[in-house]
Amino acid sequence: MTSRAAAPRHRVKPEDFYRSDAEKTKLNWLLYEYALEMESGILHDRELVADLRAEAGVDGDAIARVCVAYAKSLRREILDRLENRNEAIRIGYEPLEKALPEATDDLVDRLLNHAAEAWDSLVEACAECPTRCASERDAPAPMFDDPEFRD
């Protein structure tokens, strides 16, 4: 009998991206989706999760906090790109080092790889998504109130 590992439990939540109804925008939904994608990549990398726990004392809640903080740190990058002030989104290591000062350079590099992969995956999905979170960034995002996204 082969046991299958359960899918990792996501700790990034939609409510991490708004404090009031006015902040339930499509841009904040995009940031939520990015944080969730980043968290998924990290949680599926069992070796990284084990190393984060052993070397930096990082648990699942801390991983979620890092993903949320990292996603929020991209807000200005995304807005600048949408307003043609830069040519690309910069996936930088600085927010990771700030969120996890106890992490080694190797751990930060591995997290950064997941951050970049998550961004690429999100952009690919966005190309086919009719929601238009980037182009309608200030529009309300009714997805925040969808019961499907609640525990």
Domain borders along the chain are 21-143
- What does the pLDDT read at residue 150? 64
- pLDDT tens digit sequence for 103-150: 999 999 999 999 999 999 999 998 889 999 988 999 999 999 988 876
Higher pLDDT, 138 or 151: 138
Confidence of residue 14 (pLDDT cuts 50, 70, 90): very high
Q: Are the C-beta atoms of residues 138 and 23 closer than 8 Å to each other?
A: no
- What does the pLDDT read at residue 8? 63
Would residue 97 be called left, alpha or beta, if left means φ above 0 and alpha means ψ between -120 and 50 degrees? alpha
- Over 50: is that where the pLDDT of 2 sits? no
- What does the pLDDT read at residue 1? 42
> For residues 59 and 61, what is the distance between their CA atoms, to the nearest angstrom?
6
> For residues 141 and 131, what is the distance between their CA atoms, to the nearest angstrom?
9
Confidence of residue 151 (pLDDT cuts 50, 70, 90): low
**What 8-state DSSP symbol labels residue 103?**
S
pTM: 0.90
Confidence of residue 94 (pLDDT cuts 50, 70, 90): very high
